[in-house]
Structure 1
Amino acid sequence: MTTVLPVRRPGAAAALLPAGDERSTAGRRADRGHHVLGRTAPWLVRGVMGIAVLAFAFLAVGPHAFGYRTMTMLTGSMAPHIEPGDITVVTPLRVTDVTEGMVIAYHVPIGDRSLVTHRVVSVEHTPDGRVQVRTKGDANAAIDPWTAVLEGDTAYQVRAVIPELGSAVQLLRTPLVNQVLLYGAPTLLAGWVLLSIWRPTRNEPEDGRA
């Protein structure tokens, strides 16, 4: 018995899959998804790690290297210039250089001596060399009901405001997020390293064919 095998003529088009057969389309979609994931995942990990490094440098290293301090605004007394959850960057200046209009951070002279960030509305230099200030929150209707004596030789003036960063810092301090960062950051780093090692180069066929 003779078996006749069909031979495709040179240049002839390949037979199409029957209508409704989605194997080719599904395969292409899967390959495309893997390709996009392989391209995106390393950059996503790099972005997360980069943001974490920058935040650590700004909040932990910068104050020691450049002398500034960061504070989180907790109230709306300075809105709209400084909103609750914003981070303020303060730098030291001599107490004798404090003038009206500056926004400074200081401890109130009453109650629990909490830290407040308000605008200076008046400055008085006493005969014994002390500096007394009256302050007011931009959003408050009245001047603060106290006269504060700026102790020491250094005051802290607000130089910059970073919106909403304080809210993120507060979120990072919650127990749940701490646990996620504790275990998630090493996992992301390990995934980044593995993707870098196993990612095929441009000169190597991804399917292993020569």
Structure 2
Amino acid sequence: MTTVLPVRRPGAADELPPAGDERSTAGRRADRARQVLGRTAPWLVRGVMATAVLVFALLAVGPHVLGYRTMTMLTASMAPEIEPGDITIATPVAVSDVTEGMVITYHMPVDDHSLVTHRVVSVEKTPDGSVLVQTKGDANAAVDPWTAHLQGDTAYEVRAVVPELGHLVQLLRTPVVSQALLYGAPLMLAAWLLMTIWRPAPAAAPTHEDKENQE
């Protein structure tokens, strides 16, 4: 079989693309961008949904099923171990087992009795079985100006810290974001389902017989 190649004359202009080929560089880039978006969008939706499920399980389901408590740290009194915006995970422990060095979450015996997470610096057990503790924030210069009487049989010791998650929780609680999630999450789910159903099947690679027929 003989192949004839055209001879280009010196100074001749480059061959122009066929008249029917109207695709420009910008058009090819747009097609490539659509292909990339079509591949990444389903994974992005799955990632957002998986994150939402994990956060919901950690903050809403876990405390009821596993018995732990979560709290968002609002101050830097326990920095650098616990920074503002971190979420603490505290598990129950017997009041009689509370010892110096533990980081516990309890109600302050002053002002509005809000929750505080500080380190125990002293423990006193009275003859009637009550447990009195003094605490201090790791970043504070002085011990807390009160002595806390741990009520009941159970205290809560901080076992783990989830960095920065509290900022996300506070953001989700804002009216604008909560409304957007209320209506946007179902739309994202519907879009993901539609993309899964209507996603075109990938074109099959040409077989050896197809190549022979083309020749």
Alpha-carbon distance in 2 for matches of 1:179, 1:12: 67
Task: Name the aligned partner's letter for residue 51 of structure 1.
Answer: T
TM-score where L is the length of structure 2: 0.84
Alignment of 1:163 with 2:163, yes or no, is yes
- Cα distance, 1:28 vs. partner? 2.1
SS of the aligned residue for 2:110 comes to coil
Task: Name the aligned partner's letter for residue 155 of structure 1.
Answer: A
Distance 1:29 1:153, change over 3 A: same
Q: Percent identity?
A: 73
SS of the aligned residue for 1:141 comes to coil
- Cα distance, 1:27 vs. partner? 3.1
Structure 2 matches for 1:104-183, cutoff 5 A?
Answer: 104-183=104-183
Task: Name the aligned partner's letter for residue 190 of structure 1.
Answer: A
Gaps of 5+ in 1: 1-9, 206-210
Q: Aligned residue for 1:33?
A: 33
Alpha-carbon distance in 1 for matches of 2:55, 2:180: 17
Alpha-carbon distance in 2 for matches of 1:137, 1:166: 19
Gaps of 5+ in 2: 7-14, 206-215
Distance 1:26 1:11, change over 3 A: farther
Q: Segments of 4+ in structure 1 off by > 4 A?
A: 10-13
SS of the aligned residue for 2:117 comes to strand
- Cα distance, 1:108 vs. partner? 1.1
CA RMSD for the aligned pairs? 2.2
Distance 1:12 1:154, change over 3 A: farther
Alpha-carbon distance in 1 for matches of 2:166, 2:53: 17
Alpha-carbon distance in 1 for matches of 2:46, 2:176: 23
SS of the aligned residue for 1:64 comes to helix
CA deviations on 1:36-65 (whole Å, 9 max, x unpaired) are: 111011111111111111111111111111
Alpha-carbon distance in 2 for matches of 1:143, 1:27: 68
Alignment of 1:60 with 2:63, yes or no, is no
SS of the aligned residue for 1:84 comes to coil
Alpha-carbon distance in 1 for matches of 2:32, 2:94: 62
- Cα distance, 1:26 vs. partner? 3.0
Task: Name the aligned partner's letter for residue 130 of structure 1.
Answer: S
Alignment of 1:49 with 2:52, yes or no, is no
